[in-house]
Structure 1
Amino acid sequence: MDQPESIASPALVGRERESAELARALAGGPALVLVEGEAGVGKSRLVQEYLAGSAGQRRRALVAGCPPFRESLTLAPVVDSLRSARPAVADRRLSPLAGALRPLFPEWAGDLPPAPEPLTDPLASRHRMFRALLELVDRSGVELLVIEDVHWADDATLEFLLFLMSDRPVRDLGLVLTYRPDDVAAGSLLRRLTSRPRAGLAQARITLGLLDVEATAGLVSSMLGDEPVSEAFATFLHDRTDGLPLALEESVRLLSQRDDVIRRDGEWVRRSLTELSVPPTVRDSVLERVQRLGGDARRVLDAAAVLAEPAGDDVIAATAGLSGPQARAALIEAARSGLLGEDPRGRAVFRHVLMGRAVYDAMAGVERRRLHQDAGRALEHLRPPPLMQLTRHFRTAGDLARWARNAELAADAAAASDDHTTAVAVLEPLVTAGGLAAPDLARLATKLATAATARRESVDAVHARVIGVLRGILDGGGLAPLAQAELRIPLGRLLLQSGEFEAGRAELERAVPHQTPRPAEAAVAMTLLGYPLPGPRPAAEYRGWLERAERAAADLRSDLDRLSLTADRAAALLVLGEPDGWDVVTRLPRDMPTVEGRCQLARGHANVGYAALLWGRDATARRHLDRALELAEAARFARLSATVQELVVLADWLSGQWHGLAERAAALAADDDVEPNAKQGALLVTAMLGVVTGRQGAERELRGLLERVRPDSVAAIPLIPAAALARRELTAGRPDAALELTDAATTTVQTSGTWIWAAEIAPVRVDALLAAGRQDAATGFVAAFERGLGDRDAPAPAAALASCRAALAAAGGDHEGAAGFAAAAATRWARLPRPFEELLASEAAAGHLLDAGRTDDGVALLTRTHKRLAELGARADAARVARALDRHGAPAPGVVPARRGRRGYGDELSPRELEVVRLVVTGRTNREIARAVSRSPKTVAAQLNSAMRKLGVTSRTALAVLAVEAGLVGADTQR
């Protein structure tokens, strides 16, 4: 992840229409252009861009500004701008009238005529001065006069501008005035200037509004090397600045100074999208405007800042401690200042979030707490009461009783609407604040724990934080045994979700003895204890818990409770290898009426789909995974959706559906929204595809994956890489290394008796035992496998058992029998279908035929196997079979182009990667490339990262340079 090397000045974005309008108005002839908008909206930038352009540079322009002095200086902006015109008038003859300018330009004494006789009438004297200034403007050759911040101009300046734009124009002079409408005083002469059209004078009023999200992204991108900005980052900034350019620019600079802006997957993002500090420039601008208001208006602004939400006049009045008439007058004054606006319902609110935050940050802590208390009391009378606001106000005010009451109600409402994340956010600070009575603490902590287990987001820091909170409460003592038990069950679930299996089981086991009065909670705990977890625990122990859970759940009345326990029971029985689990699966309803019910049903289908893969009932697995994904996405169950996608990727690997699988797996593994645990299947498939295609480094990835997960896990994720790596060790003649790789998983299977998990590991384990000369151990292992599997309809373990029998037969010299068993295994794998396993079994069968002396049959089978491996994309395995054919004098035919699967490319760029590289060279962003090739930006990012890894570069620039130098792109692409 990169950080910006430097922050550039922002480009002018989102102002195309306004720029064109300004250019048209100043295209020729006298013109008056008014550019209005609030502070920081980009008025000066718009004018500067015009002046820097070709049209602006062709005109002699003078620019002046009106400083925000307490007392404006008479004619200061006009005089200051004309001072720079002295060289232009020094050689020109001025009329005696110009002598009236000596008081304004004493440094021009040598260039001005003598001062005229003084006039006794002040109005006549001012008129003579204006005529003299008009002559000076005319003689100076000025074609464009720009005066900034005219809302701060003195009356004399405004009167001169009225005179300048009267019926006696100076040639084709263009006058551009910028100002803030909210800061124009009620009786300002500026209003006369803007409301008096004149024949022959081109007039335009350009109002600059705020930027939308797209323009916000463009402005931020222009500051960060024109790289794309993530939609989430752009939306975050827009929500907090309302698209005010100055606030955006300063916010990006502030975030960069704090290293909070990083580049990930080809686009700029914020490291943590939480709160945004007020940039000093914005803060000072807001506070300067606040100080110009009266006392009541400032109190109203303080109240509005504390409320932080749109509020009615009565709520603001009560919070500010003002009477109704006082508050209304103060609100009018604050609104006229441009700080306060209204929402669609007419309620007062700050024009921009950062404005309110600047006012809030300027208050003393004791004043904030008082205002929060007053705000809470004012909001308590609303119906329905705004529970989240009340929780925030009373929490900040330190009113524990009111805070607890409203927080619990808010959490209950959030949970009832399936927003468990909000429930956690509301309850966590309350239970950690201290001061709650033990019964209240127990009740609220249990609600916190329950909400945390129900969150649909990925396992993250929130899980870890809540686990720490709950452990601290339990360790602190003071809770009754039943209250502790109620808390331990959701704590146990959180620990299981976080991968702390033994700790989770321990909490559940401690809770069960105290749950007699609560059968639903007892059944939940016992069902969880009945689900197989890593470690050599006997299957009988799991079955015992499931039987107890079924008895405890007999009297349950809640449909949701029954669904949850049915889904968990079905999955647990199936993973244990119990055929009764399939009967339990039939009890799952087709649908549920609530979102929470659909989430539970989705979880049940996902677990059944995973178990079906272990059994080798792949078509059944697909149906359940498809239904799980449909339900999870409809319920926006992000964590489960990612898990199901991981299982789908794994199922595609097993079924040989390798076309585009590497890209999909890489995109899932690169998705920052997916928790690390849910990426293991995608990483496994990526590594396995690399191994079979011969990609360099793939075996190292596989070993790294195996090191990061428990080798004794009941999951397929450690079993598959252990088996694949052990097979490679055997090929290299290292049986002891193969045995070491398979020891833990084999011990788990044998000790627990759950032979349903042995499909991946058993054949290679038997081969390793035989290669190490331990034939008795191999025979005993296969006998135990056969007894453990029994008559279960489990196609995958049954196919693996046939392979094990083939190995034993060959070791006993029965090569004909071995060939038969291996062919039977290939047939079983083909029925699933799992073509890669089928072809490995066919390769073994061919070897046994050759050992039996049936050379022609063996070579023919090897030839067919080689062809299909090549078609599948298993290039490394095809190469191994080709070597075997060569040893028997039958060179392998040419590789047939892939049909069912995509070929592996090793360290070469795939066609899709090359396509992405070519578009990178043209300067396109990831989003633009995604649109061009009809793929998702995350898929493009994954392909780009893969290309950079293969070519050994770490940046887009280096990739583009290397691609051009290596001739990977054509001349037309480079242009």
Structure 2
Amino acid sequence: MPDGAGTGDEAETALRGRLASALDPRGAGRPVLLLVEGAAGTGKSRLVDRLSAAVAGSARRTAPGEPPAGAGPELLVVEDVHRAPADDTARLRALLADPPAHFACVLSYRPEELPAPGLVLGPDTDFPAALTVVRHVLGPLDLTEVQRAAVSVLGADRCTPGLAAALHRASGGVAQTVADLLDLLAALPAAGRPLAPELGRLDVPPRLDALVLRRTAAVPEEHRPIVFAAAVLDEPATSRDLAVVAGLPGWAGDDALSAALRAAVLEDRGDGRYGFGSPLAAAAARRAAGGPAREALHRRAAALLARRQPVPWERVAGHRRACGDARGWLHAVERAALQLEDAGEQQRAASLLESALATGPVPEQARSRLARLLARCAVVGLRSDETLAVLRHIVADPGLAPAVRGEIRLDLGLLLCNQMGEVMEGRDELARAVDDLSGEPVPLARAMSALAMPYGPDASFAENVAWIERAVTVAEESGDPVVQAAVAANRVSVLLNGGDPAAWPLIERLPRDSDLVGCRQQTSRGLCNAADAVVWLGHYDTSRALLAEGVALAARSGAAYAEQTGRGCALVVDWATGRWPGLTERCRAFVEESGDMPYLASDARMVLGLLALARGEWADTLDHLTGPEAADLDTGPVPISATASGALIRLALAHDDVPEAADAAAAAWRRLRAKGIWAWGAELAPWAVEATLRSGDTSTAAAMTEEFAAGLEGRDAPSADAALAWTRAVLAEHTGRTAEAAACYEESAAAYRKLPRPYHAALTSAGAARCALSIGGNGGRAVAALADCASTFDALGATWDAARTRAELRLHQPAAERRPPGRPRYGDVLSPREQEVAQLAAAGMSNREIAATLHLSPRTVEQHVARALQKTGVHSRQQLARALGSPAD
């Protein structure tokens, strides 16, 4: 009896071929019996329907119990043979013993419900030699198949990999259960709600509930405790463990397990273990167990697990809570959290602890210990509003000892600064923690070290340096290796962001290979923060190397927040170095994944805004940089604030709103001066100085340029050095020193090419060409440079910059290279100018803005837009974007 080969579509195609061959009246194909085997809900009926439909045109379909006509091809389909009466199975055996020519039979059945295991047609099952018999076994769906099913029901945008994995785990891959869960999820409101958490709140689908309860009821009452024991343990277990939890001694346990297997409520999961096919099936049975009986099952399960080595404390905690053992539950929660922390799984530990602290009264001594442990775990994990609420409530307790309050306040401050994005409030908590922690060197060093981190606008860089120096002293006195690693990581970040070359050897000294997971977590954080710092300096290859090491170490050591910050930093590196294809989608996915953690998503939102500006998508630029989810310019991270301000100033200048640009430049410059880290002005200085010059304030612009230069003296900041040359070029160009401006632009472009920063190199190279053309220098060379810049912008997908540069190019193009008089005929194809105008219109620019960019009249732009709409067959600018295809992103 050969079995069906292959999987999925390949196997189904092979089965169709076998049936078609047997039914072909022109062939000599042998009669075929196809056995479609699968447990309940695995999709047998759907497969049989598809197979029947595929061969329906070549055969007469015979109903069950109907005798074959004996003339012409015939297909007999019998579903659920395991339920067939004995008379029907006898007739089937007789028919198959002597099948007619051009005959095929499809039988489907549940193997777990056959009256005689393995014998499809009863005890007398036999297949003659003249009959080709194929068995096709349908098993659980794999993860890829579940993902495909979820996308087909929910759409790709709502079906994240995490949701597919959760669906696969909850359903056990049973096709019908997957379909029922997807129906329930599809009925939920779509807006802004991740579906993976919603899945955990869904009830057992009614179809699965009924199946489990029906099969449980088929088990004799005296044997049912084995079913409920398996449901309570909720994992494949040995027969001995099931009997212990069920309270069935000796042979009674074996008899009960045999009865449960015969009823198909439990399955043989291999390796001498038995259980349910899915967690949802176990949940259905668990609910069916009576209250007192269920408590006894949980009590015995907790005792069983507590005897294992190592003890699975997280599971013990769940069982003790379920049986009402409050004291034992809290003890197990604490042991579980410590166990998870040691394993680098702080996120799970925090979830367990916050649940304990938020559930009813907890004795004061236990509450202090659990709260400190929760706070410690929360700062290396991801955002949890529940954790934040618990910690705030505990810190407000006037009876708390000052040292305990200070320790919890420290981690509350870190949580507010990092995961919650509430930097000012978080730093206030850190400052209060320093007062509470006097005499406690380990947490005191951590608090001082946290206040040293320079990204916030509330303290000058000089204050940050003073904090890190104090933290280093206290950490050394503490003798604690983990806090020393934490302070060392922050010291690297402080020095690097200041452009201090003394930071480089300190990176190599971070304890990457420590035996302590806390040291490795702090090192991973330090490496990711160092990578972020050197991005702003302009050392991109170094940043990538630090990111690769830091993210990998964070993933191995359970530092989820550090891992995510590293991934966000990688987006900034890609933007800076011109790796723009696919970058918009990567940023959007990261923002979605970051959920409600604005600080974590700030890098991605900034990059989205910068990309949108280069494409001329100005409404999107404003949304990404100033919308409700964006980092606040006054309270957010200073390097992001300065970069976003530079983009917003440039946007105001593009709109010819010079007063708005000058006001934004003055505010941004005040923020940068107050911070005192001038390397962070690399994306701000050229645009701020240009806006100040265009407002007529030449003396202030000159002073800003000198202040920027003085702030960079002795600093290792190649990106800011390139920006300084650009800023000097802008100042020279607007004060009539055009030749000097051209030289400064060239110096800047060369520096940007070396970094490399292709977008900025093209911007400054175009400035040099513009200046060269205005003073009548080597026009041919300048025109060629402009053409190269336009090509660079095109390759990056910088639609607006490409259009601006081509417009400039057309003004200076030699007469011999210009288009001859008369309108060329493009027919239904967009002309180059129409394509250019259409791209800017699709990006959201108005006719007047397009006209200013391309040096055309608004009327001409209006005509080009009208022709583009007509030729592409669309009716709006929004539809133009789809008609033209997505820009490189």
- In structure 2, the partner of 1:523 is 445
Answer yes or no: is the 8 Å Cα contact 1:297–1:330 preserved in 2. yes
- In structure 2, the partner of 1:404 is 330
> Offset of 1:771 from its aligned partner?
3.4
Code of the residue aligned with 2:395 in structure 1: it is: L
Residues 234-263 of structure 1, C-alpha deviations (whole Å, 9 max, x = no match) = 544343333433333333333334457999
- In structure 1, the partner of 2:661 is 738
Q: Which moved more, 1:875-884 or 1:660-669?
A: 875-884
TM score, norm. by length of structure 1: 0.72
Number of equivalent positions: 821
Q: Structure 1 unaligned runs (5+)?
A: 1-10, 64-80, 83-135, 896-902, 914-947, 969-975
Distance 1:617 1:390, change over 3 A: closer
Code of the residue aligned with 1:254 in structure 2: it is: L
> Offset of 1:673 from its aligned partner?
3.4
> Offset of 1:394 from its aligned partner?
1.1
- Pairing of 1:438-587 with structure 2 (within 5 A): 438-455=364-381, 459-460=382-383, 462=384, 464-497=385-418, 498-535=420-457, 537-576=459-498, 578=500, 580-582=502-504, 584-585=506-507, 587=509
> Offset of 1:707 from its aligned partner?
8.2
Answer yes or no: is the 8 Å Cα contact 1:260–1:270 preserved in 2. no
Code of the residue aligned with 1:754 in structure 2: it is: I
- In structure 1, the partner of 2:868 is none
Distance 1:21 1:354, change over 3 A: farther
> Offset of 1:950 from its aligned partner?
10
Match of 2:283 among 336, 357, 366: 357
Q: Which moved more, 1:369-378 or 1:414-423?
A: 369-378
> Offset of 1:808 from its aligned partner?
6.0
The whole-number CA distance in structure 2 between the counterparts of 1:201 and 1:817 is: 93
Code of the residue aligned with 1:555 in structure 2: it is: E
> Offset of 1:811 from its aligned partner?
7.3
Verify: 1:245 aligned to 2:175, yes or no: yes
The whole-number CA distance in structure 1 between the counterparts of 2:60 and 2:210 is: 36
Distance 1:201 1:394, change over 3 A: same
- In structure 1, the partner of 2:355 is 429
Residues 728-764 of structure 1, C-alpha deviations (whole Å, 9 max, x = no match) = 5446654321122223321122223333323332343
Q: Which moved more, 1:541-550 or 1:484-493?
A: 541-550
Answer yes or no: is the 8 Å Cα contact 1:759–1:800 preserved in 2. yes
- In structure 2, the partner of 1:664 is 583
Residues 44-65 of structure 1, C-alpha deviations (whole Å, 9 max, x = no match) = 55555555453687336232xx
3-state SS in 1 of match to 2:715: coil
The whole-number CA distance in structure 1 between the counterparts of 2:187 and 2:163 is: 17
Code of the residue aligned with 1:872 in structure 2: it is: T
The whole-number CA distance in structure 1 between the counterparts of 2:101 and 2:754 is: 92
Distance 1:727 1:330, change over 3 A: closer
Answer yes or no: is the 8 Å Cα contact 1:766–1:778 preserved in 2. yes
> Offset of 1:468 from its aligned partner?
1.6
> Offset of 1:571 from its aligned partner?
1.0
The whole-number CA distance in structure 2 between the counterparts of 1:605 and 1:293 is: 59
Match of 1:606 among 528, 541, 557: 528
> Offset of 1:470 from its aligned partner?
0.8
The whole-number CA distance in structure 2 between the counterparts of 1:170 and 1:796 is: 84
- In structure 2, the partner of 1:316 is 242
The whole-number CA distance in structure 2 between the counterparts of 1:517 and 1:401 is: 33
Give the % identical residues: 31
- Pairing of 1:253-402 with structure 2 (within 5 A): 253-258=183-188, 272=198, 274=200, 277-402=203-328
- In structure 1, the partner of 2:649 is 726
3-state SS in 2 of match to 1:274: helix
> Offset of 1:622 from its aligned partner?
5.2
Answer yes or no: is the 8 Å Cα contact 1:649–1:665 preserved in 2. no
Distance 1:305 1:664, change over 3 A: same
Match of 1:673 among 584, 590, 593: 593
- In structure 2, the partner of 1:59 is 60
Distance 1:877 1:241, change over 3 A: closer
Distance 1:434 1:199, change over 3 A: closer
- In structure 2, the partner of 1:131 is none
Verify: 1:768 aligned to 2:688, yes or no: no
The whole-number CA distance in structure 1 between the counterparts of 2:185 and 2:164 is: 13
Residues 481-517 of structure 1, C-alpha deviations (whole Å, 9 max, x = no match) = 1111111111111111121111111111111123344
- Pairing of 1:856-867 with structure 2 (within 5 A): 856-857=776-777, 863=783, 865-867=785-787
The whole-number CA distance in structure 2 between the counterparts of 1:848 and 1:147 is: 85
Residues 118-153 of structure 1, C-alpha deviations (whole Å, 9 max, x = no match) = xxxxxxxxxxxxxxxxxx999999977665545445
Code of the residue aligned with 2:182 in structure 1: it is: V
- In structure 2, the partner of 1:716 is 639
Code of the residue aligned with 1:666 in structure 2: it is: E
Answer yes or no: is the 8 Å Cα contact 1:445–1:470 preserved in 2. yes
- Pairing of 1:677-826 with structure 2 (within 5 A): 677-692=599-614, 694=616, 699-700=621-622, 704=626, 708-712=630-634, 713-730=636-653, 733-802=656-725
Verify: 1:38 aligned to 2:39, yes or no: yes
Code of the residue aligned with 2:216 in structure 1: it is: V
Answer yes or no: is the 8 Å Cα contact 1:591–1:601 preserved in 2. no
Code of the residue aligned with 1:414 in structure 2: it is: L
Q: Which moved more, 1:482-491 or 1:755-764?
A: 755-764
* Rg larger in structure: 1
TM score, norm. by length of structure 2: 0.78
3-state SS in 2 of match to 1:508: helix
- Pairing of 1:15-164 with structure 2 (within 5 A): 15=12, 36-54=37-55, 58-59=59-60, 61-63=62-64, 81=65, 148-153=79-84, 164=94
Answer yes or no: is the 8 Å Cα contact 2:705–2:728 preserved in 1. yes
The whole-number CA distance in structure 2 between the counterparts of 1:674 and 1:710 is: 17
Answer yes or no: is the 8 Å Cα contact 1:875–1:904 preserved in 2. no
Q: Which moved more, 1:506-515 or 1:747-756?
A: 747-756
3-state SS in 1 of match to 2:476: coil
Distance 1:516 1:158, change over 3 A: same
The whole-number CA distance in structure 2 between the counterparts of 1:26 and 1:670 is: 51
Residues 445-499 of structure 1, C-alpha deviations (whole Å, 9 max, x = no match) = 11112112122xxx44x3x221122112222443211111111111111111121
Residues 501-556 of structure 1, C-alpha deviations (whole Å, 9 max, x = no match) = 11111111111123344322211110110112433533332222122112112235
Answer yes or no: is the 8 Å Cα contact 1:863–1:892 preserved in 2. no
Answer yes or no: is the 8 Å Cα contact 2:167–2:199 preserved in 1. no
- In structure 1, the partner of 2:871 is none
> Offset of 1:613 from its aligned partner?
3.8
Answer yes or no: is the 8 Å Cα contact 1:782–1:804 preserved in 2. yes
Residues 161-194 of structure 1, C-alpha deviations (whole Å, 9 max, x = no match) = 66x4698999999876654444344699987554
3-state SS in 2 of match to 1:673: helix
The whole-number CA distance in structure 1 between the counterparts of 2:297 and 2:15 is: 43
The whole-number CA distance in structure 2 between the counterparts of 1:886 and 1:167 is: 87
Q: Structure 2 unaligned runs (5+)?
A: 1-7, 820-832, 844-873
Q: Which moved more, 1:465-474 or 1:767-776?
A: 767-776
The whole-number CA distance in structure 2 between the counterparts of 1:141 and 1:821 is: 90
3-state SS in 1 of match to 2:270: coil
Distance 1:596 1:480, change over 3 A: closer
3-state SS in 2 of match to 1:343: strand
The whole-number CA distance in structure 1 between the counterparts of 2:191 and 2:807 is: 53
Answer yes or no: is the 8 Å Cα contact 1:683–1:705 preserved in 2. no
Distance 1:827 1:201, change over 3 A: closer
Code of the residue aligned with 1:437 in structure 2: it is: P
- In structure 2, the partner of 1:650 is 572
Code of the residue aligned with 1:769 in structure 2: it is: T
RMSD value, Cα: 4.8
Code of the residue aligned with 2:274 in structure 1: it is: A
Distance 1:829 1:240, change over 3 A: closer
